[in-house]
Structure formats: C-alpha cells, structure tokens
C-alpha cells in the first residue's frame, strides 16, 4: 500500500507560480513512477506531468515549458513547479503513484488561477 498526501495548492493570479508537493509513505520502494493529474468538474482527469524512477519525464503540450516535475527519492516526495499559470490551469490537482501495477491517488489539492 502507498499513501500520498498533496500540499501547496491555492489561489494565484494569472502569470504567477505555485509549487505542489506530494509526499509518499508506505511501500514506497514499490513505486516506479509518479505523476500529477488534474480534473475540472464535468471533465476527465488529465495527465499534467509524469516522472519515472530513472528521471524520465513527460508533459502534455498544454503545460510543456511552464510546468516542471521533479522528485526527491530520499524524501519520497514529488514536486510540480507551475509557472506562468493561466486561468485554464484551474483544477483539482491529484498526485498519482504507480506501484506494483496499481495506481494510488492522493486526495487532491485545489489550484485556482484568477484572471
């Protein structure tokens, strides 16, 4: 079992920055990739960023060049640095861990970008 706790969401003006954190606990040795997803009401949850244990990252075009995912394996924590935020980035952001073929999700943190 893996537990994930996100933090760092909040309200920011367009053009601003936020950094989200996701702390993992439990069977962290089994995690082989972690990622950030976001969801707005009425829409499917979408990938924002993903990073493997070897540090390979991938981003959708909508955030490429603005968001950066990183991980501190010693602290079992993954970060999402979000710059140049836009109102359309407003969503609940979820941390996801992939371990033993199973997905584990955090509780989510709200990010609101005002225009």
Contact partners, residue 61, CB within 8 Å, separation at least 6: none
Quote the percentage of the chain above a pLDDT of 70. 100
Q: How many Cβ atoms are within 10 Å of 66's Cβ, its own excluded?
A: 15
pLDDT at 28: 84
Q: What is the pLDDT of residues 82-104, one digit of tens each?
A: 999 999 999 999 999 999 889 99
pLDDT at 82: 98
Q: Is 115 a residue whose pLDDT tops 90?
A: yes
92 in Cβ contact with 28 (< 8 Å) = no
Q: What is the pLDDT of residues 43-75, one digit of tens each?
A: 999 999 999 989 999 999 999 999 999 999 889
pLDDT at 63: 98
* Confidence band, pLDDT 50/70/90 cuts, at residue 30: confident
Closest CA to 35 of 62, 10, 67, 66: 67
Q: Is 13 a residue whose pLDDT tops 90?
A: yes
Contact partners, residue 45, CB within 8 Å, separation at least 6: 37, 38, 39, 94
* Residue-averaged pLDDT of the chain: 95
SS (H, E, C) the chain: CEEEEEECCEEEECCCCEEEEEEEEECHHHEEEEEEEEECCCCCCEEEEEEECCCCEECCCCCCCCEEEEEECCCCEEEEEECCCCHHHCEEEEEEEEECCEEEECCCEEEEEEC
């Amino acid at each position: 079992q893996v537990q994930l706790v996100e933090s760092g969401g909040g309200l920011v003006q367009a053009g601003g920055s936020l950094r989200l954190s996701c702390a993992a606990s439990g069977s962290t040795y089994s995690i082989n990739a972690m990622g950030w997803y976001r969801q707005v009401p009425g829409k499917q949850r979408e990938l924002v960023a993903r990073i493997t244990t070897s540090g390979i990252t991938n981003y959708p075009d909508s955030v490429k060049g603005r968001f950066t995912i990183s991980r501190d394996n010693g602290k079992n924590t993954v970060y999402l640095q979000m710059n140049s935020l836009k109102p359309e980035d407003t969503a609940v952001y979820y941390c996801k861990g992939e371990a033993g073929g199973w997905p584990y999700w955090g509780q989510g943190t709200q990010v609101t970008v005002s225009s």
